[in-house]
Amino acid sequence: MKFFVDTADIAAIAELNDLGMVDGVTTNPSIIAKSGRDILEVTKEICDLVEGPVSAEVVALDADSMITEGRKLAEIAENIAVKVPLTWDGLKACKVLSGEGKMVNVTLCFSANQALLAAKAGATFISPFIGRLDDINLDGLELISDIRDIYDNYGFDTQILAASIRNANHMSDCAKIGADVATAPPAVIKAMANHVLTDKGLAGFMADIAKAGIKIV
C-alpha cells in the first residue's frame, strides 16, 4: 500500500520523504490555509520535494470553473493530481481533465455508488473518507471493502485512496482490505511505529545494559 502524507508542512513531508515513507502528498484548501502560504507557491515546493502525485484541490463548484482551475493547477508540475469534489459537476470536470491526460483525485466520497461513478468518469484516485463515516456511526472500512470488490469485479484502474485516516489501526486495516493508497497526517504515520511492548522491552534492555556496564564505542 502506498503512503500519501496529508499535509502542507514542508518540514514534515521532508522528514518522512527521507525515510522513504512518502509516495505522494494530499492537500486541500483547509490544509493550505493552515500553512498560511499561497496555494500555488506551497504546492510547487511540495511537487519539487516528492516524486509521487501531489493532490491540489480546486475551489470552484461549477464544472467549467473547476476545469479552468484544474488546468491552472496542472501547470505547476507534472506530478499534480487535480482534486475535485464528488458532485455531478466534479464528475464532469473529472471526465474532461482525465481525458486531457491529467491525474484526477475525486474527493469526499461516502458511498460505493459515488466511487463507481468516479471510476466511470476516469478518476485516477477515489478518496473515500473513513473517519467522517465513523463519526456518524457508519463503517468507513466497509466502504473501502465495497469499493475494492466493485473495482476488482470490472477491472477499473482507479486507485482507492483511503482518506480521513484518524489512527494507526486505520492504516493497517486499509492495507488488509486492499486500499491502493492511504493518506494520513504525519503524526498518524509516525504513530505506526509505537507499541507498548516495544517500549517495555527497550526499557528492560536498557536496565540490563546499565547493570552490566555494556558499551559498544
Buried b (16+ CB within 10 A) or exposed e, 159-193: bbbbbbbeebebbebbeebebbbbbbbbebbbeee
Domains in the chain: ranges and CATH: 2-192 (3.20.20.70)
Angle between helices 63-74 and 88-99 in degrees, nearest 10: 40
Each residue's pLDDT, cut to its tens digit, for the chain (217 residues) gives 999 999 999 999 999 999 999 999 999 888 888 888 888 999 999 999 999 999 999 999 999 999 999 999 999 999 999 999 999 999 999 999 999 999 999 999 999 999 999 999 999 999 999 999 999 999 999 999 999 999 999 999 999 999 999 999 999 999 999 999 999 999 999 999 999 999 999 999 999 888 999 888 8
pTM reported for the whole predicted model? 0.94
Cα distance between residue 205 and residue 160, in whole Å:
41
Cα distance between residue 111 and residue 214, in whole Å:
57
Tell me whether residue 83 is one of the annotated catalytic residues: yes
pLDDT of residue 33: 86
Task: Name 5's bridge partners.
Answer: 25, 184
Q: One of 83, 102, 120, 176 is an active-site residue; which one?
A: 83
Cβ 162 vs Cβ 129: under 8 Å: no
Cβ 43 vs Cβ 79: under 8 Å: no
Cα distance between residue 155 and residue 141, in whole Å:
21
Cβ 171 vs Cβ 2: under 8 Å: no
pLDDT of residue 83: 98
